[in-house]
Amino acid sequence: MPRSPLICLLTLSLAWAQPSLLAAAQAFAAAAEPDWVAIAGTYPALGSPQSKAELTTMHWLQNTRTQADVARAWVETHPDLALFLTALGSGMDASNFPATAALLKQAKEDLKPIVANLKNSFNRPRPYVIDPTLIPALAQDGSPSFPSKHAALGILFADLLTLLDPADQGGFARAGKLIGDDRVMAGLHWPSDDTAGQRLGKAFASYWLTRPGNGQMLQNAATEWSQAGGAHRGGVPHL
């Protein structure tokens, strides 16, 4: 199976003796913008067996979610660097990583119009609009349901942070996936919204790294991790 540009970037950056992360990012020619509609895919037609199965899942999640689950989903409403560092249990302070926070913020801003265009194009109703007996555990969202922006952000942030701290890939991946999954648990999204958002976030991470200027932002963040993050398990791997 071909490896994604994101994985290739990570592999190259770890294999070279003295490269900068910026040099690795610049090794990729500027990629043509992907077909985001094709990446998002589609969702089950209302009334189809798949749609009925999603409704069953949504009701089960509503009946089994706990107060702790809802509290976690509330914290994940605005995902940021601090959320991921807390998930790692590393004790690192997000205020020590301003360049990393700026990196994630810019990636988020660049992703937002793509998700908005997809939501408006598909115009899928939220679960609680289709079935009023589904009561969301968090505030209702007025935007269309497909794909999930939170799911996309979770994977996007996890992939970018993994480039900066490969040793914590598993922790970042779990935290990133949970952001989208918990939106389903809280009754705000269908499972297929979550899956599509995760596909979108991974594809966008690979594409975003090829855009002019973003490699420099990544290099700035990498420098920050090698300095402020050096105390984390004895040092950050050379990228």
**DSSP secondary structure letters along the chain:** -PPPHHHHHHHHHHHSSS--HHHHHHTSPPPPPP-HHHHH---PPTTSHHHHHHHHHHHHHHHH--HHHHHHHHHTTS--HHHHHHHHT----GGG-HHHHHHHHHHHHHHHHHHHHHHHHH-PPPHHHH-TT---SS----S--SS-HHHHHHHHHHHHHHHH-GGGHHHHHHHHHHHHHHHHHTTSS-HHHHHHHHHHHHHHHHHHTTSTTHHHHHHHHHHHHHHGGGGGGG-PPP-
> Could you tell me the CATH superfamily of domain 46-230?
Phosphatidic acid phosphatase type 2/haloperoxidase (1.20.144.10)
Mind listing the pLDDT tens digit of every residue in the chain (239 residues)?
A: 444 444 444 443 433 323 444 544 544 445 689 999 999 999 999 999 999 999 999 999 999 999 999 999 999 999 999 999 999 887 889 999 999 999 999 999 999 999 999 999 999 999 999 999 999 999 999 999 999 999 999 999 999 999 999 999 999 999 999 999 999 999 999 999 999 999 999 999 999 999 988 999 999 999 999 886 544 543 444 34
